[in-house]
Chains A and B, each alone.
Chain A
Amino acid sequence: MSVVLVVVDAVDGSAPKPTLELLTLARRIGSPAVVVFGPAADQVVPVLAEYGATDVHLVADPRVLEHLVVPKVDALEQIARQAGEPGELAAVLPPASPEGKEIGARLALRLDSGFISDAIDVKAGEPGSGHAVIATQSAFAASWTVTSAVTVGVPVIAVKPNATTPTSEPVEAAVHEVAVELSAAAAATTITDRTVREGSGRPELTEASIVVSGGRAWATASTSP
């Protein structure tokens, strides 16, 4: 069965809702293999297995947190190339966060494949259509819906939050600890200080299931200035 690599955004040993959405989407295409970064990566294995991750790759190397983007691209490239025979890796699905998109684009460049960002849905292509994976995007302020496909190599598709509702499908996850061989460029950019902001306890706007918007109209004959 083909493998779909899912990239977890969080590095603190948690699996945020978009990760569970990606896992749910990945199961439509193949068997999900998840890549988790950070020293606490192993803590997240049970919840990933509950949502159908047949393989979990743990990249505990603390250097992935000390340098921007490139160490994660190195790790993903290494895992993608080891994922099996050519053709066995069906897709790579990072989250469509700013960093997730940078990771996805650089990975696609290295794998000589194509990259689609900000997908709102992902599914397997019709057999015989020539496209293994089809992405849906929302364009021009959501006035158009676009379906597209990567035509070269392994599709890398960054998916926005709320693409689907996570559903569980418990499996036994095979856990692999990954020793990353970092490229020369990996340590070139260093994060020298990080201040984590206090969460408000509210969902992230991009991840919220319901957003109520409203406004107040003033332009009547009696009230307009």
Chain B
Amino acid sequence: MGPDGATDALRKALSMGGDAAVHVRDDALHGSDAFATSLVLAEAIKRIGFDLVVTGMASTDAGMGVVPALLAERLGVPQVTFAGRLSVSGDEVKILRDSDTSSETVTARMPAVVSVTDRTGEARYPSFKGIMAAKKKPVQTWSLADLDIDPALVGLVGARTAVLATTRRSARSAGQLVKDDGDGGRALADFLAAQRFI
């Protein structure tokens, strides 16, 4: 789901091993929030058919990290999120995930939605052969009408929140510089002690 430029990302994914791609493109999608995004993705995924939906962990702009959970809710399938390691055996998907306080093994039966962290491994590198092959792979483009989605549910008009005000924060002061003439460590300790941090 994205504007015209999203085709580049799809071609790259195909060159890295994807077999086919679907681009959901519609001007009404501009400004969509996590609820609208998950609605559009869920409808597209249902149409494609799936055993396993694999997503990233969070976007780099808003960083909410809730689209995978919302996808699972909308698709009515297990939510298996924040995988650091992922394995599939028969119709069972198993992940290892690390939180701040514990490590967990989580299992579910497919079909399921899995989100992965940056610890699952290095991405495959697009080879020359892969890049050439990607040019022949199918990319379908679907609109909201193709997915039977009411445009009033997406984009800015469909947003469930509103920004009331934005203010730029004043620039931060430069902090304290200590010139190290061999006693830098002592100066640091003195600073921490003076502030009662140690």
Contacts and interface: CB of A to CB of B under 8 A. Distances in A.
Interface of A: 68-70, 73, 98-99, 101-102, 104-106, 108-110, 113-118, 131, 134, 139, 142-153, 185, 188-197, 199, 204, 210, 212, 214, 216
A68 B78 CA distance: 9
Interface string B164-198: 11111100000000001000000010001001010
Nearest to A215: B175
Interface stretch (B64-72, B119-127, B142-150): B64-72
List of 4 A-B pairs having minimum Cβ-Cβ separation, nearest first: A114-B160, A105-B66, A188-B78, A102-B69
Contact of B35 (A69, A109, A196): A109
A130 to B, nearest CB: 10
Contact of A148 (B81, B106, B164, B192): B164
A209 B61 CA distance: 26
Given A109-B38, A188-B77, 15 more contacts: A68-B106, A69-B69, A102-B65, A118-B64, A148-B163, A188-B79, A189-B79, A192-B106, A192-B107, A193-B105, A194-B104, A195-B103, A210-B197, A212-B195, A214-B188
B73 interface: yes
A68 B63 CA distance: 21
B9 interface: no
B163 A106 contact: no
Interface size class of B (residues with CB under 8 A): 35 or more
Given A118-B64, A195-B102, A146 B35 contact: no
A197 B161 contact: no
Given A148-B163, A212-B197, A189 B80 contact: yes
Nearest to A105: B66
Contacts of A68: 79-81, 106
Contact of A193 (B65, B104, B161, B192): B104
Contacts of B195: 212
A146 B163 contact: yes
B101 A196 contact: yes
Interface of A is mostly: mixed
Interface in B104-122: 104-109, 112
Contacts of B101: 196-197, 199
Contacts of A70: 79
A212 B197 CA distance: 8
A1 to B, nearest CB: 25
B89 interface: no
A152 B104 contact: no
A144 B169 contact: yes
A197 B180 CA distance: 38
Nearest to A194: B104
A144 B168 contact: yes
A115 B164 contact: no
B76 interface: yes
A146 B165 contact: yes
A119 to B, nearest CB: 11
A129 to B, nearest CB: 9
B167 A145 contact: yes
Nearest to A148: B163
Contacts of A109: 35, 38, 70, 73-74
Nearest to A138: B169
Given A134-B164, A143-B169, A188-B77, A98 B106 contact: no
